[in-house]
A and B are shown apart, each in its own frame.
Chain A
Amino acid sequence: MTTNEASLYEEQAKIFKRLSDQISAMLERFGRHDSLLGLGDYSVVDDYGGYPQVKISIGNLELLQPHIIKQLQKIVKEFPGWEIVIAVAVRGHYDDWPDMGLTIRAREIVDGLQRQYFPKEFQNIRYEGSKPGTDRD
């Protein structure tokens, strides 16, 4: 890693921290973060991995409601080039549900939710401006 790359990395890590702090503050209004004292509704991965994205693991499907996703998109719009990745990880379904989730970017939402696994009340969730896809899109 050259000095330039190192300073860019440091800069990106700072942006990551700002973005993940804003996401955490927003989600706190709707659920409880996992902690060592017990699992909550979601967790924000707080380790910057060298890629402009923040990952959230969601264990409570209520957090997939369109108005919450819209607010996350509003946050990420302030961070050009960054994205929020939401992985659905519901306790009790780690093994029998496939990997699925959403990728939220400023101008689009990649929707990879496999709703057939969800309880009925969550099967009709739709996101404005979304397109179907995978986590590689």
Chain B
Amino acid sequence: MTPFKPEWLEHRRRRYTRPDASRYFRPDYERYLRPDHARFDGRQTYEPKYRPDQPYGSEESALAAHTSELLKLKSELDRLLLLRAAIRLEQLRRKAGFNPAQPRVPAGNADGGQWTNDGGGGAAPRTGALGAIKVAESFNPGSHHFVPQSLFNKLPLPPETRKVFDEAKTAPLLSERHGWSKEHRIYNDAITEQFDRFMKENSIRPEEMAPDQARRFVEEVKRSSDPRIRGLNMRIYMREIMYWLRRVPRGNE
């Protein structure tokens, strides 16, 4: 129930509302009100969840409230577990070089079901929320490179070392619209400093850098506690996670 006395409310209404106020309302004004608008204008009584005339902690009401809360949490947890599994699946697929679109030999042949590079003829692959990301592994732009390509492109690195930097990247990015932030250049700045330190500490020249050394450097970047590096990487991860959270259906949908 509203905490104000009706007489007092009426007095306030008369005092602050001009007598011809209704002239200023469009005839179809109710179209613009939310269905439960009466909750907010003091005319509808408010039903508290726990009525004072009922014992607050009665067993049934407490149990029902707990059960409802638990189901909501379970639903949310299931959604997150599903999302994590989908991301893990996609990571494994990329690691194994699995291509869901690769054709298979049709049933009835001696090697039916085997992967083939020919036309195949098997059923189309099933696709799930993340199942059909089909970006060639060697195709670079659609990912975040831990060491930006443009930074190492012109370095006289051995091809195998270059390949390590090329492959050190996230899954394809799907959510990023850039603004005018300075984050990418600050990231470049930090990576350049870290690279310089790494090369000096290990007495390496770019043209002599071995793939293992490049891998070590990439690991350092991934695990870096430098806020300039960690900050951008975390923001990219978070944007991607938020993107997928928005796309994957909730447990109760």
Among B185-212, those with CB < 8 Å from A are 185-186, 188-189, 191-192, 195-196, 206
Inter-chain contact A3/B127, CB cutoff 8 Å: yes
> Does A125 make an interface contact (CB < 8 A)?
no
> Does A20 make an interface contact (CB < 8 A)?
yes
Among B136-179, those with CB < 8 Å from A are 136, 139-145, 147-155, 169, 172-179
Inter-chain contact B176/A49, CB cutoff 8 Å: yes
Complex interface: chain A residues within 8 A of B77 (CB): none
A1 and B132 in contact (CB under 8 A), knowing A17-B141, A24-B150?
A: yes
> Does B38 make an interface contact (CB < 8 A)?
no
Complex interface: chain A residues within 8 A of B186 (CB): 89, 94
> Does A63 make an interface contact (CB < 8 A)?
no
Complex interface: chain B residues within 8 A of A47 (CB): 141-145, 148-149, 169, 173
Inter-chain contact A9/B172, CB cutoff 8 Å: yes
Inter-chain contact A99/B179, CB cutoff 8 Å: yes
Complex interface: chain B residues within 8 A of A99 (CB): 179-182
Inter-chain contact A87/B181, CB cutoff 8 Å: yes
Interface size on A, as a range, is 35 or more
> Does A37 make an interface contact (CB < 8 A)?
yes
Write the A1-25 contact mask toward B (1 if CB under 8 angstroms, else 0).
1110111011001101100100010
Which residue from chain A places its CB closest to the CB of B155 in the assembled complex? A36
Inter-chain contact B134/A36, CB cutoff 8 Å: no
Task: Tell me the smallest distance from the CB of A49 to a CB of chain B, in Å.
Answer: 3
A10 and B180 in contact (CB under 8 A), knowing A35-B154, A38-B192, A49-B175?
A: no
Interface hit among A50-58, A64-72, A115-123: A50-58
Inter-chain contact B192/A13, CB cutoff 8 Å: no
Which residue from chain A places its CB closest to the CB of B131 in the assembled complex? A1
A9 and B188 in contact (CB under 8 A), knowing A50-B174, A99-B179?
A: no
Residue of A14, A35, A85, A94 near B179 (CB, 8 A) is: A85
> Does B43 make an interface contact (CB < 8 A)?
no
Tell me the bound Cα distance from A82 to B181 in angstroms. 19
Inter-chain contact A6/B145, CB cutoff 8 Å: no
Which residue from chain B places its CB closest to the CB of A57 in the assembled complex? B185
> Does B135 make an interface contact (CB < 8 A)?
yes
Inter-chain contact A36/B152, CB cutoff 8 Å: yes
Tell me the bound Cα distance from A86 to B185 in angstroms. 11
Inter-chain contact B139/A13, CB cutoff 8 Å: yes
> Does B72 make an interface contact (CB < 8 A)?
no
Report 16 cross-chain contacts, Cβ distance below 8 Å, ordered by A residue: A1-B130, A2-B127, A3-B127, A6-B134, A10-B136, A13-B172, A24-B150, A36-B192, A39-B189, A43-B148, A45-B148, A45-B178, A48-B141, A99-B180, A99-B181, A100-B180
User: Which residue numbers of A lie inside 8 Å of B, CB to CB?
Assistant: 1-3, 5-7, 9-10, 13-14, 16-17, 20, 24, 33-39, 43-51, 53, 55, 57, 59, 85-89, 91, 94, 99-101, 112, 135-136
Not counting A9-B142, A44-B150, A91-B185, a sample of 20 additional A-B residue pairs whose C-beta atoms are within 8 angstroms of each other reads A13-B139, A20-B141, A34-B151, A36-B192, A46-B141, A46-B149, A47-B149, A48-B172, A48-B173, A49-B178, A50-B174, A85-B180, A86-B180, A87-B179, A87-B180, A87-B182, A89-B184, A94-B186, A101-B180, A135-B178
